[in-house]
A and B are shown apart, each in its own frame.
Chain A
């Protein structure tokens, strides 16, 4: 069950959240996601996600002189991330409130 709940850490969401902090190339994204969210994205998964997000117009590539091409989040990507974050926040709020009530009831 824990593994299935881990799907909250959806790779596209993690990448969007990482790029919300500023443009980054592939390696910088994996470093940022690992350090701030504790999730290691493999090369295959990362570029599958980048390809999908790019095709949906949620991120866009920036010009680069070397092979490390940076990406930035688009307006549509920021909106999608905000909506999803809000939904997750609502769920987290409800879950925390109910857990607190249950723990409080059990303690009383």
Chain B
């Protein structure tokens, strides 16, 4: 915005780029205003400022999509699919953090007592928040999951049934594969594969066994979790359920993400305390920094998507 005269058309390239930059906007925005903006560009011409303005506003429209353009059920389904994946990553990160710190008998033995009350409280908050998050997912997700499963069975949609069974089947397969890996790794003479920040020959990590380091199981676990979480998301897009079940699930997803945010905050407090007051293995910043970055990225994506879902759930057309 400025007090300068209207720009004269400067050739077709700027107009073409300006019209092309409309593709940066969300699809719903483009469907509603795209033709009008193209007509405006044809009438008034375009320059670099027009292109920059469209690109900037497109980014803002993606961050804060206009509510009146929502198709509430579609927005809630998209939100649920994204939250399912990001929430799984958050739970996975919390599990990894707890496994590497809270669940280590070695750590519990050395960090008990009033001296480490901050760490103890952080873990209690972490456990309670993860529990609350799981309950929220069960309360909101299970009814919708069962409803979709019944519908897929009634309509004999095998692909959707397979997707929906992912969260039940994939963890079982993962546990089976992990058991096989662990039993194979018990062969004598193998060199233990340890996390890179563990300098000692014998790991203080008691997650797997002396021959199989936890990284393999962790990578496999994340892959299995993402696979399991993607199934219901794909089924949501395919079966397109609506009504109160989706609204309830969207609200529960918001609660679940908020609880995971609290869990993450507690884990960060614990991580800082471990780094500050902890024993030697926890004084290295690298792993904690990686954890923090991954957590922040996942919670930002989850919170953004869950907020959009809740906003859509509050619109009159949601039900």
B interface footprint on A57-72 (CB within 8 Å = 1, 0 otherwise): 0000000001111000
Extra A-B contacts (8), CB below 8 Å, given A45-B57, A51-B69, A67-B35: A30-B44, A44-B55, A44-B57, A47-B40, A48-B61, A55-B66, A67-B38, A68-B39
Are A43 and B18 also in contact (CB < 8 A) when A27-B44, A34-B6, A38-B3 are? yes
Chain A residues within CB distance 8 Å of chain B:
9, 11, 25-27, 30-31, 34, 38-48, 50-52, 54-55, 66-69
Residue of B6, B36, B56, B66 near A44 (CB, 8 A) is B56
Rounded to whole angstroms, the CA-CA distance of A46 and B68 in the bound complex is 17
Task: Evaluate contact between A39 and B2: CB separation under 8 angstroms.
Answer: yes
Rounded to whole angstroms, the CA-CA distance of A41 and B57 in the bound complex is 13
- The 3 A-B pairs with the shortest beta carbon distances in the complex, nearest first, are A44-B53, A42-B53, A44-B57
Q: Can you offer 15 A-B residue contacts whose CB atoms are under 8 A?
A: A9-B1, A11-B1, A27-B40, A30-B40, A34-B6, A40-B1, A40-B2, A43-B37, A43-B40, A44-B50, A44-B53, A44-B55, A44-B56, A48-B57, A51-B68
Number of interface residues of B (CB under 8 A): 36
Are A54 and B68 also in contact (CB < 8 A) when A40-B1, A40-B5, A44-B50 are? yes
Query: What's the minimum C-beta distance from A43 to chain B, rounded to whole angstroms?
Result: 5
Task: Evaluate contact between A43 and B66: CB separation under 8 angstroms.
Answer: no
Assess whether B4 is interfacial by the CB under 8 Å rule. yes
Task: Evaluate contact between A31 and B1: CB separation under 8 angstroms.
Answer: no
Task: Evaluate contact between B1 and A39: CB separation under 8 angstroms.
Answer: yes
Those of B16-50 within 8 Å (CB) of chain A: 18, 29, 32-33, 35-41, 43-44, 46, 49-50
Cβ of A42: which chain B residues have Cβ within 8 Å of it?
1, 49-50, 53-54
Rounded to whole angstroms, the CA-CA distance of A47 and B41 in the bound complex is 12
Are A39 and B3 also in contact (CB < 8 A) when A25-B36, A48-B61 are? yes
Cβ of B36: which chain A residues have Cβ within 8 Å of it?
25-26, 47, 67-69
